[in-house]
Amino acid sequence: MAIEARHVSRTFGSWAALRDVSLAVSHGELVALLGPSGSGKTTLLRIIAGLEQPDPSDETAVLINGVNISSQRPDERKVGFVFQHYALFRHMSVFENIAFGLRVRPKKVRPSEPAIRRRVGELLELIQLGRWSDQYPSQLSGGQRQRVALARALAIEPNVLLLDEPFGALDARVRQELRRWLRTLHSRIPVTSLLVTHDQEEALEVADRVAIMNHGRIEQFGTPDEVFHHPASEFVVTFLGNVNLFHGRVASGKAVIGRLAVDASRALPYMATLPVPANGDKARVFVRPHELDIDVNRTDDTSVRARVLRIQSAGSLVRVELASEEDETVRTEDTLNVELTHQRHRELTLRLGDTVFVRLRDARVFKEDYTI
């Protein structure tokens, strides 16, 4: 493994930022640490970088390429670190910012001046800023500054690259462009990378695997497909996008919510260690908006009547807000949210106030009294 964190805990006074966290990242992998503020993701990143120290324990260790670096200073770990707010040297040109890590190496391991210029030139070409090499950070856009910060981190040829909310200070359009650029960059220079973010879309788009953190623990670690389609806990379901929440029960192998029903065998939690709802159990049923469908007529007994409250058609999907008109559907919210393709919306010709019938295509089912 390129990065290993073993049984890492960190407390600040009475607050536990990390609780016995273990993580292993393979060589060349780009892993995202995803979670809300205070979940521990930045603390874990800083411990790997050597900027924070874990709580003392005989079991705790941080390894890079199989070497225990727990006692090494940050400058000895050969780690590239990219901060949210660039941290570029204002008085240095783009060229000198990128060259800085090479120029400050001890004389016996410092590259020659031609080698430094060659390395910086390669990186300038890679980040597509060759024409801006003599400019200063104040003369660049936010996206350009972050690319310079990435190039500076890569200049020292780090064993691993650590990125702490690198696009958090940028507007939505620039973030989207830089996400694509980072994915392309990583395919060309497959340095093992750990990316901290609270942006679900960013993590799912960029990362090879995602570690979802909550209250100082990793709740699930898997591919973007696994964590989104096979969530291991209620927190993962609700954190990764909007959901409709129903209260129901399990009967004859199905999760039943009023008239709605879904095969419980394909809707159960992803991890075998979680309790599986059995027949007769009360259950919480989470349904994403795209897992519901709408008909203008009732086609069978597994649909519920609802009234159209709002239609939002701007965007790649049409979002429809509905009020259920059937008392036996027990929900924790007053409305249902459904996402349709534009083609499906045109077929239905929905209008505000229309009565429609909602069907369930898929769901995630958790035992009612279970909390992680």
Q: What confidence tens digit (pLDDT) does each residue in 125-138 have?
A: 999 899 999 999 99
The pLDDT, as a whole number, for residue 329 is 55
Q: How confident is the model at residue 48 (pLDDT cuts 50, 70, 90)?
A: very high
**Class for domain 242-367, per CATH?**
mainly beta
Confidence class for position 332, pLDDT limits 50, 70, 90: low
SS (H, E, C) the chain: CCEEEEEEEEEECCEEEEEEEEEEECCCCEEEEECCCCCCHHHHHHHHHCCCCCCCCCCCEEEECCEECCCCCHHHCCEEEECCCCCCCCCCCHHHHHHHHHHCCCCCCCCCHHHHHHHHHHHHHHCCCHHHCCCCHHHCCHHHHHHHHHHHHHHCCCCEEEEECCCCCCCHHHHHHHHHHHHHHHHHCCCEEEEEECCHHHHHHHCCEEEEEECCEEEEEECHHHHHHCCCCHHHHHHCCCCEEEEEEEECCEEEECCEEEEHHHCCCCCCCCCCCCCCCEEEEEECHHHEEEECCCCCCCEEEEEEEEEECCCCCEEEEEEECCCCCCECCCEEEEEECHHHHHHHCCCCCCEEEEEECCCEEEECCCCC
Q: What is the pTM of this model?
A: 0.89
Domain ranges of the chain: 3-234, 242-367
3-234: CATH number: 3.40.50.300
Report residue 371's pLDDT band, with 50, 70 and 90 as the boundaries: very low
